[in-house]
Amino acid sequence: MNNPQTITLALTGASGMPYGIRLLEMLLREGKQVYLLYSKVAQIVAQQEMNLALPSSAKETEAFFNRRYQVPDGQLRVFGREEWFAPVASGSNPADAMVICPCTMGTMAAVAAGLSQNLIERAADVMLKEHRPLIIVPRETPFSVIHLENMLKLARSGAVILPANPGFYHHPQAVQDLVDFVAARILDHLGVKHDLIARWGAE
């Protein structure tokens, strides 16, 4: 998809929260309308990995990121896990694309099975049934056969499986460079412009 305007970003409880938070920053910087969803365990991981305290209230989280990234009210909308009247819950008003980053194996399994037991799973299900771009960023190692079978099932259903595997050919000097590599690959697949890393073969 070229230049999507509305993007759903879901943060789940896998390790790799810096990827998701950097992606949120870049999407907001590029002026995209972002629908943010996050699991309860994602709050724990954000605190553990980034010392980032995500409020339990969707409105408080919205205000927190609006201040953090200095974005206007309305550009970022945060929805609770059971907020079934959110736009992302219906195929009549889906976002242009969705990213689950980082994605737990449990969330991936639920999406592959079409369970839709919370808003993250339902939003992903909407993407698949409406044939909209869904990017899943698993952060686990090693993968079991069950994990791989779920990835294959989702790929066959139209999702992009984009593991959080940073490259090293751009000579990273800091952890942030590795984070930016993965965020850049996600943005590329969304069709969102960025300047996070130099292009291969570019001067």
Output the known binding site for FMN: 13-15, 39, 104-107, 139
| Secondary structure letter of residue 174 according to DSSP | S
Q: Give binding residues as ranges.
A: 13-15, 39, 104-107, 139, 169, 185
Joined together, the tokens standing for residue 31 give: 């002026």
Per the annotation, where are the binding residues for dimethylallyl phosphate?
A: 169, 185
Name the nearest CA neighbour of 103 among 138, 149, 133: 138
Q: Are 27 and 7 in contact (CB under 8 A)?
A: yes
Using CA atoms, how far apart are residues 151 and 161, in angstroms rounded to an integer? 7
Helix/strand/coil for 11: strand
Question: Closest by alpha carbon to 51, among 17, 1, 82?
Answer: 17
Spatial separation of the C-alpha atoms in residues 84 and 118, rounded to whole Å: 8
